[in-house]
Structure 1
Amino acid sequence: MGLRRVGRVSARAGIVVTGTEVLTGRVRDLNGPWLADRLLELGVELAHVTQCGDRADDIDAQLRFLAGQQVDLIITSGGLGPTADDMTVEVVSRFCGRELVLDDGLERTIDEIVTGLMARFPDVDADAVRAANRKQALIPAGAQILTPVGTAPGVVVPGTPTVVVLPGPPRELQPMWRAAVATDAVQAAIAGRTRYEQHTVRMFGLPESGLADTLRDAEKTVPGFDRLEITTCLRRGELEIVTRVEPQHASAYTDLLSLLRDRHGREIFSTDGALVDDQVAELLAGRRIATAESCTAGLLAARLTERPGSSAYVAGAVVAYANDAKIELLGVDGEVIDAHGAVSEPVAEQMALGALRRFGADTGIGVTGIAGPGGGTAAKPVGTVCFSVVVRDDDGAVRALTRTTHMPGNRSDVRERSTTIAMHLLRRALIGAG
């Protein structure tokens, strides 16, 4: 879901992601989203992100489409290698009406890079490799060269629009983009960019429709609302609201945030863009947590350990599917399982307590559910998941926060959503710890 309010128009850009492997989904596009974020930081309006295969006519069509949208800057990624299907520079040169010329200095630079690489492959014909890589030293006349990070150089071609040609591998593209932005041609192309402040609010437990109603009311009641550019996104059960505003209209955002707090204070968990994972990591400082998981297959433990320094607070994890594993590894009472079922709040709580005891932790969390397919009943359909967080307070008392949810989706959806719910329950429990 997205809502856009436009003040004055900023400098505009378009991105062309090339590569048949990206177009067909064999390789996931990382460059488009990364470049989109960098343009946002610069205050440049992103008009379009397009993808096409390694075909000259299709690349040319994307360039001409973006030029027709009156963008000031076009950024391409991919197609800079030495093989025949790497043709982006050639197509861009033709599109810009410039001759393709050999740069002797660049050829020597590439030759030095290739010579160093070939030292590891003594059986490869180095002369043949150099001849193939000579193609990468051909650039549009008058273009500015971006020094290779791998073997492929990038180029900046001044004009209307200015075109920045970058390699496909993200590890090469990202540092090269920083060099491109510093060039006179790119600075001139984005000179009309708007300086924005950006704010991110995150919510959990609110449906999109509830937020939509609030934003409709804000449109009528918040002075200067039309100066705000608001984008909303639902991901993993969380609502992300990103607002961009020019500094002189900051009071409109202040009023909007006040309205969101009044309407949805309980659901807002972050007004500074912090993720729940970061908040939980801070709350776990000085504590030790252990997890006991069934339907989530250890994904919660994996998520907890993604933050730097997590080894200081993550004591251990148990993944137990079978009832006898829950009994033996976590000390769950078999009679409780018989009475309530393996997917139940009492079992989730005993799993959490078992993890806490087994690893000598002061915080434990248990997750048990039916992720599917199959295995559900009328009383407990697929998507039923029980959670329990147990926390030992400073006075030694142990308290529990236990919940059951029912969620739609396939196994992957249920597991992903369950880990998010678990993180939010953990956050809530830890805020009250002490």
Structure 2
Amino acid sequence: MRSVHRVSARAGIVVTGTEVLTGRIQDRNGPWLADQLLELGVELAHITICGDRPQDIAAQLRFLAAEGVDLIVTSGGLGPTADDLTVATVAEFCGRELVLDEAMEERIAAILRRLMGDRPGVDFDAVRAANRKQALVPVGAEVLEPVGTAPGVIVGGSPTVLVLPGPPRELQAMWPAALATEAVQQAISGRTRYRQETVRMFGLAESGLAETLREAQGSIPGFDALEITTCLRRGELEIVTRYEPDGADAYRELLALLRERHATALYSEDGSTVDEQVAALLAGRWIATAESCTAGLLAARLADIPGCSDYFLGGAITYSNEAKAELLNVDPVLIAEYGAVSEPVAESMVTGALHHFGADTAVAISGIAGPGGGTPDKPVGTVCFAVRAGSVAITRTLRLPGNRSDIRERATTVAMHLLRRALAGVDD
């Protein structure tokens, strides 16, 4: 990452919850909030995670205030149980008393009635009393309408503290309303106005990109005004560049250099993912899959991509040679001659998937994910791919690094990129 030092509004995030601290639940709120703040041009100082103990939450609030942040965003600890103490802790930190917001208490009661319905044997008054603490707010605080049963709270000041619920669905739905409040707008009023662009590459080593960026630093005027973050995942490189409007010329020159140096690897200049591109290219087609070592991961990925499910007919998982022969009509003689992990067998699997599902597009993957299944000629990580899209056919054999899970994930990603090329009419 290339950092650019400038004065900007600063924020810190406090993720609360013993279940998050101990790893039983993965933190989804911290990264999501970080993304939102960065897009706004707010400099993120720290993300901290702490348990539900009031003294630990208070320690994080004091730490961030001492760091001089303008806005603290907390997530979690707004429920009705005894360990949900974030609001009370924030109130004490801000020097405010807690008072009952009677109108909010009525709204929470109405939500509870709707959720409970006419459930027999439930004491509604007891449930309402247990949830009343969710309507306790610091004096002078602004209250955000609940998405679940927990309202959000904003306490203006230096720093301003924005208290949001823990469930990601509720937090994300509440964010626009929080952002629109005067207190939050005032807290981030010093933010820098950034533009952000994302470029994606596949098949390029991170060291190759690093060399190009070093060249860019020495040859592009204004390059130091670009804040560049690179991330390598499963063979894909994501390059996110943030810059102020006067850095636009430098970014255009950088993009031109990336095109020149890495034309075959550069597949997205607008931030679109390979999944999104495949979904658009599949329109009007019918696709099927045939998999062995990936155990249906490609089929699951296609089925989960918005828009792809309309064109996905189904997939066959064929580990054994008998299954390949029976379900996909792969000739056993072909398997005996070349081996199950081979390009001829992968091509035959594609043909079988096309006929079995009545598709016009198909992808086949046959490989050795291990452990213990490889040979000197075909070590663990050897994966054969075959793709057919109309008259375009692509066949590849690659050796992928990593353990079983890594090989499966990487193979699925490779298959998506080969499919994208075939659908775009680019063959071998």
The TM-score normalised by the length of structure 1 is 0.95
Aligned equivalent of 1:267: 265
Aligned equivalent of 1:379: 377
**Separation in 1, partners of 2:127, 2:422:** 61
The C-alpha deviation readout for 1:331-371, integer Å capped at 9, x for no partner, is: 11111111111111111111111111222222221100011
Matched-pair contact (CA < 8 Å) for 2:279–2:306: no
Amino acid across the alignment from 1:240:
E
Shift of 1:146: 0.8
Aligned equivalent of 2:278: 280
Shift of 1:7: 4.7
Matched-pair contact (CA < 8 Å) for 1:227–1:249: yes
Confirm or deny that 1:406 pairs with 2:393.
no
Confirm or deny that 1:126 pairs with 2:124.
yes
**Separation in 1, partners of 2:310, 2:179:** 40
Matched-pair contact (CA < 8 Å) for 1:201–1:268: yes
Aligned equivalent of 1:396: none
**Separation in 2, partners of 1:314, 1:133:** 46
Amino acid across the alignment from 2:89:
V
Shift of 1:301: 1.4
Aligned equivalent of 2:239: 241
Give runs of aligned pairs for residues 84-163 of structure 1, distance below 5 A: 84-163=82-161
Shift of 1:266: 0.9
Aligned equivalent of 1:32: 30
**Separation in 2, partners of 1:249, 1:329:** 57
**Separation in 1, partners of 2:258, 2:426:** 27
**Separation in 1, partners of 2:228, 2:426:** 35
Aligned equivalent of 2:205: 207
Aligned equivalent of 1:181: 179
**Separation in 2, partners of 1:247, 1:49:** 28
Shift of 1:106: 2.0
Residue 19 of structure 2, aligned match among 18, 21, 26: 21
**Separation in 2, partners of 1:268, 1:244:** 19
3-state secondary structure, aligned to 2:304: coil
Confirm or deny that 1:419 pairs with 2:412.
yes
**Separation in 2, partners of 1:411, 1:178:** 41
**Separation in 2, partners of 1:311, 1:266:** 29
The C-alpha deviation readout for 1:159-186, integer Å capped at 9, x for no partner, is: 1110000111122112211111111100
Matched-pair contact (CA < 8 Å) for 2:282–2:308: no
Shift of 1:311: 4.1
**Separation in 2, partners of 1:344, 1:9:** 58
The C-alpha deviation readout for 1:198-217, integer Å capped at 9, x for no partner, is: 10000000111111111112
Aligned equivalent of 2:2: 4
Amino acid across the alignment from 1:303:
R
Residue 192 of structure 1, aligned match among 169, 173, 190: 190
Shift of 1:122: 2.9
Matched-pair contact (CA < 8 Å) for 1:7–1:226: no
Confirm or deny that 1:348 pairs with 2:341.
no
Aligned equivalent of 2:387: 389
3-state secondary structure, aligned to 1:243: strand
Gaps of 5+ in 2: none
Say if 1:207 and 1:143 are closer, same or farther in 2 by CA, change over 3 A: same
**Separation in 1, partners of 2:407, 2:388:** 22
Aligned equivalent of 1:71: 69
**Separation in 1, partners of 2:312, 2:129:** 53
**Separation in 2, partners of 1:100, 1:281:** 51
**Separation in 2, partners of 1:130, 1:286:** 53
Aligned equivalent of 1:357: 355
Shift of 1:62: 1.1
Matched-pair contact (CA < 8 Å) for 1:156–1:164: yes
Residue 250 of structure 1, aligned match among 248, 251, 255: 248
**Separation in 1, partners of 2:231, 2:118:** 47
The C-alpha deviation readout for 1:107-161, integer Å capped at 9, x for no partner, is: 2222332333343433122222222212112111111111112111111000111
The C-alpha deviation readout for 1:362-417, integer Å capped at 9, x for no partner, is: 22211000112221122211111110112323xxxxx5311111112221111111
Matched-pair contact (CA < 8 Å) for 1:391–1:433: no
Confirm or deny that 1:58 pairs with 2:75.
no
Matched-pair contact (CA < 8 Å) for 1:7–1:227: no
Matched-pair contact (CA < 8 Å) for 2:195–2:243: yes
Matched-pair contact (CA < 8 Å) for 2:387–2:394: yes
Matched-pair contact (CA < 8 Å) for 1:330–1:358: yes
Residue identity over aligned pairs, in percent, reads: 70
Aligned equivalent of 2:365: 367
Residue 230 of structure 1, aligned match among 228, 231, 243: 228
**Separation in 2, partners of 1:379, 1:309:** 40
Query: Which shows bigger deviation, 342-351 or 171-180?
Result: 171-180
Amino acid across the alignment from 2:154:
V
Query: Which shows bigger deviation, 356-365 or 164-173?
Result: 356-365
Say if 1:311 and 1:176 are closer, same or farther in 2 by CA, change over 3 A: closer
Residue 332 of structure 1, aligned match among 330, 333, 341: 330
The TM-score normalised by the length of structure 2 is 0.96
